[in-house]
Amino acid sequence: DTGVSQDPRHKITKRGQNVTFRCDPISEHNRLYWYRQTLGQGPEFLTYFQNEAQLEKSRLLSDRFSAERPKGSFSTLEIQRTEQGDSAMYLCASSAGSLLAGVGTGELFFGEGSRLTVL
Amino acid sequence: GEDVEQSLFLSVREGDSSVINCTYTDSSSTYLYWYKQEPGAGLQLLTYIFSNMDMKQDQRLTVLLNKKDKHLSLRIADTQTGDSAIYFCAEKTRVKFYFGSGTKLNVKP
């Protein structure tokens, strides 16, 4: 299967602990996105990468959140000092974007998500 | 581009048509998308429409776009129980995607 994969699928942690999620995008996709989804809501944009460069971060991404994509392939999203309000599904998506904005449809392909529960 | 709105619920009988509506705000959106999400899963792309089109048909799915009113709809013909899921519309503005809150479609046998 060459789709987007995320790990772990579920994580339960205690408040104050650090957690890290990993995303492996579709191999030929150069754009990678992180979204957060809470119950009854649509995905909310967190950040995205063009290759290894993190080009935009949402105001939702506090300084406890950090994302990396060191070699332009897989990405990690780390949450430090987790809070109960961080409980959500963290979705990763990739697209075959281009340095020229808007070229091609560049639709997002999503992984299955990593569900975080902070106790 | 951050205000994408959808009605929350829709209930139909198996075999009927379903119409899910969406409004968006960014007139510079290049593409608009419909995604489907089943319980515990990620989002699956169903179809999309380019902003200079009015309609797109793809098997049982018909997408209608009214750019003047910034209104998008998804029609599912001959709805099946397997179509029960949450449907999200999304607009793409440059490189970012904005999603609605989703419409939960319940298909009764």
Which residues of B lie inside 8 Å of A (Cβ-Cβ)?
A: 4, 30-31, 33, 35, 40-45, 48, 50, 88, 90, 92, 94-102
Chain A to chain B, count of Cβ pairs less than 8 Å apart?
65
Which member of B48, B94, B102 has the closest CB to residue A42? B102
Instruction: Say yes or no to pLDDT of A99 above 70.
Output: no
- pLDDT for residue B26: 82
Average pLDDT over residues A11-19: 98
| Per-residue pLDDT reduced to its tens digit, A87-96 | 999 999 999 8
- pLDDT for residue A101: 45
Q: Please count the CA atoms within 13 angstroms of the CA of A62 that sit on its side-chain side.
A: 8
Kindly write down the DSSP assignment for every residue of chain A, as one continuous string: --S-EEE-SEEEE-TT--EEEEEE--TT--EEEEEEE-TTS--EEEEEEETTEEEEE-TT--TTEEEE-TTSS-EEEEE-S--GGG-EEEEEEEE---SSTT-S----EE---EEEEE-
Which member of A31, A101, A107 has the closest CB to residue B33? A107
pLDDT-based confidence at residue A97 (cuts at 50, 70, 90): low
Which member of A41, A56, A102 has the closest CB to residue B30? A102
Distance from CA of A103 to the nearest CA of B (A): 9
Contact A42 B50 (CB under 8 A): no
pLDDT per residue of chain B (109 residues) written in tens, 0 to 9: 568 999 899 999 999 999 999 999 887 877 899 999 998 888 999 999 988 889 999 999 999 999 999 999 999 999 999 999 999 999 988 788 999 999 999 999 9
Q: Please count the CA atoms within 13 angstroms of the CA of B44 that sit on its side-chain side.
A: 10
Contact A107 B102 (CB under 8 A): no
- The share of chain A scoring above pLDDT 70, in percent, equals 92
Contact B45 A4 (CB under 8 A): no
Task: Single out the residue of A11, A46, A9 nearest to residue A119, CA to CA.
Answer: A11
Instruction: Say yes or no to pLDDT of A104 above 70.
Output: no
- pLDDT for residue A103: 47
| Per-residue pLDDT reduced to its tens digit, A50-67 | 999 999 999 888 899 999
Contact A102 B95 (CB under 8 A): yes
Instruction: Say yes or no to pLDDT of A82 above 90.
Output: yes
Mean pLDDT over all residues of chain A?
90
